[in-house]
Amino acid sequence: MSAEISVSDTNLDRSALCSVSSTATARKKTSGRHPRRQSRKSKQPINYLHAAALAYLALGLPITLCMGKAPWHTGWQTLEWTPESIDKAYQQRPAANVGVVLGQRSGLVDFDCDGPDAERTLLELFDGEIPTTPSWQSQRGLHRLFKWHPALERLGKNKLVIGEDDGKVEILIGPNVQTLLPPSYVGMKREWVEGTQALDAAVIPDSVLLQLGCTLGEEGAERASSALLITDRCPTSVVSVVSVVSVSTLDDTTNQQARAVVQRCVVKGAGTTNAKFLSLVIGLKSIAGLKGVMGEDLEPFIRAWYYVSVPHMKEKDWNEVWGRWLYLWGWAETGHDVVQLAYETSQQEPLPAIAQAFSVRAIQRLVGLCHVLQRDHADDRGVWYLSCRSAAAVIGVEYPAAAKFLRLLIQREVLELVEPGTKVKAARYRYCAA
């Protein structure tokens, strides 16, 4: 049977899977429906899930067969499937989904975007440039396969979570975790949206590994911080990397992680300074080795960030940048985001005069939040992001109420809606009130 499925058949999109056999091609297509048992007169795949399992096995992947999302065989982490055992399994359970064991065994890791704002979290982790890699769509978001790295094993965790709530990204590492591959069906059929060869997964950049807490060898650490290797041949310009991107009182791992955050948050284009600067603060705050460290002690990292970023910054005065750094370092906490930080700032100030035009206290708080977002976090065009869910969370109302309040502020010309939101991006606003 395995001879009928060659590696060339394993693009594993719907058309390729259906072409594995003439029986599968001839049957009535059931796109968007859960597969049913087909009559089986020969050793041909009985449905597209069966065909997918055989095709993935032909690629050499350590597959799993699942009911829903859960493997239904004990010892699935090390179970060795064969074409014959797959045939028998689908005779018993033709609706079984197909997955892959993650970790060293498959050489794969799954970055699972688990909410509408998770793409932004992942984009920040990858410094705005997510490598092209095999990806598929599930109900809650995109999954991306990357090559497993030995440094991940030393973390001693099956998965990591970055971001919160709708911005959460789960990084499934293994070895005791698996992920469902297309065309598995859980609420919807999973379908490839980028690439179809699981073995063509992209490499995780060293800078991302450092942010995840991995410890790299000297060569990897050097690659991760290569963007910051600035020399001081002209002593009046930039200090050498030894004194700029390391602090002698910190251990090597903490210095590596801090350099990775600095690299990720470098300003590379107009209109991104505020977001990148806040990401720098929050990113450094999230490093365990920097807990309790004074903002003044991190000046080498901030100067490194400044010298690399300043060509694209509107505010070029170092003293202004340094003063803002000290202010934000004192306020920010791990898990803060722009909206949370802006809201806490607004609570320490008198409300804008326009807020008194509204009798509902939650609307007044929302006006104060928008005022601070405009003043402290707008880009060079005077535009900032705010999702209804984020607004609801900080002003203390339910999502529908926050959406209604934002529409009201637009109608009263307190806000201008510059760009409506989407499933993966918050709406953009401009504060118009005096």
Q: Which of 209, 237, 204, 230 has its CA nearest to residue 221? A: 209
- The C-alpha angle 85, 86, 90, rounded to 5 degrees, equals 120
The whole-number pLDDT of residue 30 equals 42
- pTM for this model (two decimals): 0.51
The whole-number pLDDT of residue 197 equals 62
The whole-number pLDDT of residue 336 equals 54
* Tokens found for residue 108: 């794969």
- CA dist 285 and 288 (Å) reads 8
H helices then E strands: how many in the chain?
A: 17, 13
Q: What parts of the chain have a pLDDT lower than 50?
A: 1-32, 36-42, 218-245
The whole-number pLDDT of residue 229 equals 40
Collapsing DSSP to helix, strand or coil, 23 comes out as helix
Reported as a single tens digit per residue, the pLDDT across 353-390 is 999 999 999 999 999 999 988 887 787 788 888 888 88
The whole-number pLDDT of residue 4 equals 37
Domains of the chain plus CATH, in order, are 2-204 (no CATH), 207-333 (no CATH), 341-431 (1.10.10)
Reported as a single tens digit per residue, the pLDDT across 300-334 is 888 888 877 887 887 778 888 888 888 888 776 65
